Amino acid sequence: MTDFLTSAQMRAIERAAIDSGQVSGLELMERAGQGALNALFATWPDFAQAPATAFLLCGPGNNGGDGYVMAHGLAQVGWSVTIAQDGAPLATAPDAQASYHKAQAVGCAFRPLSVQILRDIAAQTGQVLVVDALFGTGLTRPLAPELQALAAGLTQVAAGARGAIRVVAVDIPSGLSADTGQVITAPEGGGAFRADLTVTFHDRKRGHMMQDGPAHCGAIQVVDIGLGPWDGLRHDS
């Protein structure tokens, strides 16, 4: 599986790009979020043709920041957008904070992440997009029990909707190891989100292709965010 990136290799490539001064972390975040939107619209042209309803599940780090960029873009083209935030928004990474404020400025609705979001998703009568932007490739611990329950509940609700609810994962479904493809577990158990489409950046990660990865990722689209000049670092990590 040497053709695919580990999480450490991806971090090294991103860090080298930022340290070079040729691109900022915020610019990479904006490229990732917009690239994810372009990928999902290409996958589902009906979403590009008419605004629908979106629920974005955003975590406290840069993966959540990518979700805020997506929320901003959707709201700008007329979507009804709700962001369910895991944790306090202002405790997020600095680049994610900037993206949070941009989403706030275009009228996205914000609420704490809870089981209520499942009820709201299930109550919709039209097409619904759900974005898993909770945790990215750096996650090494199991999801909290309430997030495991949310993941299982979303899978059940989406299956019952018969295609009316489509789930996109940003980078990798939350709860899945980017290096092994296994659902991250502890003695008390584990769980992970399932996506119809996973949009990842620069290159596929090993976890997309191994173990539980294919069953959880769905279709995979790779978005180029301009990291090519630093790709050689994959051989040094």
Percent of the chain clearing pLDDT 90 (strictly above): 88
If you count DSSP H runs as helices and E runs as strands, how many of each does the chain have, helices first? Answer: 9, 9
Q: The dihedral of CA 193, 107, 95, 32: what is its sign? A: positive
pLDDT at 89: 63
pLDDT at 1: 39
Q: What is the rounded distance in angstroms from the CA atom of residue 184 to the CA atom of residue 110?
A: 28
Write the single-letter amino acid at 5.
L
Beta bridge partners of 165: 128
* Cα-to-chain-centroid distance, residue 140: 16
Burial class (CB in 10 A: 0-12, 13-18, 19+), 182: middle
Q: What is the mean pLDDT of the chain?
A: 94
Q: Is the pLDDT of residue 3 over 90?
A: no
Beta bridge partners of 199: 170, 221
Residue 105: phi and psi, rounded to 5, are: -70, -25
pTM value? 0.95
Q: Which tens digits make up the pLDDT trace of 168-223? A: 999 999 999 999 999 999 887 889 999 999 999 999 999 999 999 999 999 999 99
Q: Is the pLDDT of residue 125 over 70?
A: yes
Q: Is the pLDDT of residue 87 over 70?
A: yes
Q: How far is CA 93 from CA 80, 190, 214, in A?
A: 25, 26, 30
Mean pLDDT of 87-101: 82
| Domain annotation for the chain: domains and CATH numbers | 7-235 (3.40.50.10260)
Nearest partner of 40 among 209, 237, 200, judged by Cα: 200
Neighbours of 94 (CB within 10 A): 10
pLDDT at 188: 78
3-state secondary structure of 188: coil
Q: Which tens digits make up the pLDDT trace of 8-55? A: 999 999 999 999 999 999 999 999 999 999 999 999 999 999 999 999
Q: What is the rounded distance in angstroms from the CA atom of residue 37 to the CA atom of residue 54?
A: 12
The pLDDT-based confidence of 235 (bands split at 50, 70, 90) is: confident
